[in-house]
Structure 1
Amino acid sequence: MMNKKIFQNIINKKTHSKIIFQDEKITAFHDISPKARIHILIVPNIFIKNLNHINKKNLNVLTYMLHMSIKIAKKEKIHKSGYRIIINCNKNGGQKIPYLHLHLLGGEKLKNF
């Protein structure tokens, strides 16, 4: 499993990753190993380990991540053709970095599960 610091470094602009959107709550950037023509990761700027760590105090962060994924899908012009949002949780769920993140995939016909 990769270290959570990779996302913290991107949020703090300590890497060469191209941030496509950032505000006080979230940061969005292209995945370095894309699984679709458009593959954007959306992470909260505050550390949350995974989906199991969402609670009443930080629920608004998850809601905001989903809301902003719609805006980013529109910006990337994939909102009409379709897109997929994925949140992996823990090892068996496919989570490789122990930091909550949302995958926004689109720009092509995606395979069904």
Structure 2
Amino acid sequence: MSQQGRHLRCIFSFGTLQDKSGQLQANAYCENPDIVLIGNKADLPDQREVNERQARELADKYGIPYFETSAATGQNVEKAVETLLDLIMKRMEQCVEKTQVSNAVNGGSSGKLEGEKPAEKKCAC
């Protein structure tokens, strides 16, 4: 799975979110992945399994954005996706900046010997 694909594929129910935090980190691109908590079916309040207060408390606990969405009406779907993409882009920019600073400190050299293959690693963000 590509690194970009990992950003959008971790979906858990409210009840299993805490239990899945280890799995989320194991499949994430770094130790502190970008996460947005989304409550769906905002257009069907009588069918809610989790009230908005509970969801917001969980989002606050983890320090993540929370959106009430509706796939049927499109309510907040675009805003939730844009927020996640903004978080991802900020992290990517930080990675690029760290790499540029590191290269400048090392005199523009990667520190590898000629012919040496670069080590595979996850983003150090």
TM range (shorter): 0.3 to 0.5
For CA contacts below 8 A with separation 6 or more, give which structure has more relative contact order.
Answer: 1
Higher strand share: 1
